Amino acid sequence: MAAPEVIRSEWTKIRSVASTAWTLSVALVVTVALGMLISALTRSEFDRMSLRARLSLDPTFISFAGMGLGQLAMIVFGVLVVSGEYSSGMIRTSLAAVPQRGTFLFCKIAVAAALALVVGMVTAFGAFFLGQAMLGPHRAAIGDPGVLRAVIGGGLYMTLIAVFSMGVAAMLRSPLLSLGILMPFFFLISSVLGNVSATKEIGRFLPDQAGSRIMQVVPRPGDDTPYGPWGGLGIMVLWVIAAVAGGYAVLKRRDA
């Protein structure tokens, strides 16, 4: 089967599964809603902040406060797109129809990544504009230095989270095992490593911590991170490439 036909097939699979719409909708709603809430709270507390806190306020990054929970839905989306076929047994039929396993995997990832990119960009721009509306006089403008880069980077970050999850799911081939590893990794291990002084140097090179750098406009006081916004996103891309390559290697060597 040629690549265009595989892409059409994968698109049909993804849009015919109800969980796809639900997970992507949750990613959008949670990210935007929580960003608006934190932005509104920041505005109400601004007059009580210290001078240092006011000077280091990053209005753009505040509007992305919901990204941490929103990426949870993106992780679920990425895992289900790939490992759902294993849990249902559909993978045997898919590989019988598309024996070229590389074509099968990369077309699946390409279709899902394109969908995640659209949702990620809508989410990032929605979170920014609605969050800034909540900040009122403390808001940033899309034309301010670094702001457009941060907003576009937010959409790319959500997309890369989804693709990273697809690669891990392709390696583990089980939705429960994949989620059981990815959830603690992003919501516990990464946070602990990044906030403990002994492991901080390691934590800042994990995919979520490095990638989220792209959404920051105002540098944090005392920040000594050895890379910039695009460098951080580049580190995240390397993690994604490694995960997808690992998924391809497993798919290539193991039976369905």
Q: Report the pLDDT averaged over residues 139-153.
A: 95
89 Ramachandran zone, left/alpha/beta (phi>0; psi -120 to 50): left
Question: For 179-198, how does the pLDDT look when each residue is reduced to its tens digit (9 = 90+)?
Answer: 999 999 988 888 888 777 77
Question: For 59-87, how does the pLDDT look when each residue is reduced to its tens digit (9 = 90+)?
Answer: 999 999 999 899 999 999 999 999 888 77
Question: For 80-98, how does the pLDDT look when each residue is reduced to its tens digit (9 = 90+)?
Answer: 999 888 777 777 777 777 7
User: Bigger pLDDT: 50 or 131?
Assistant: 131
**How sure is the predictor about 200, in pLDDT bands with cuts at 50, 70 and 90?**
confident
Q: Report the pLDDT averaged over residues 170-186.
A: 92
What is the average pLDDT score of the chain?
90
**How sure is the predictor about 158, in pLDDT bands with cuts at 50, 70 and 90?**
very high
Residues 6+ apart with CB under 8 A from 252: 101, 102
Query: Is pLDDT at 40 greater than 80 in this prediction?
Result: yes
Q: Which whole-number Å values give the CA distances from 83 to 39, 91, 124, 241, in the listed order?
A: 36, 9, 27, 18
Of 7-21, 100-114, 236-250, where does mean pLDDT reach its minimum?
7-21
57 Ramachandran zone, left/alpha/beta (phi>0; psi -120 to 50): beta
pTM comes to 0.92
Q: Report the pLDDT averaged over residues 225-243.
A: 95
Residue 179 CB: number of other CB atoms within 10 A? 20
* Cα distance between residue 235 and residue 249, in whole Å: 21
Q: Which residue blocks in 146-228 are alpha helix, DSSP H?
A: 147-172, 175-184, 190-195, 200-203, 207-211
**Domain range annotation of the chain:** 3-253
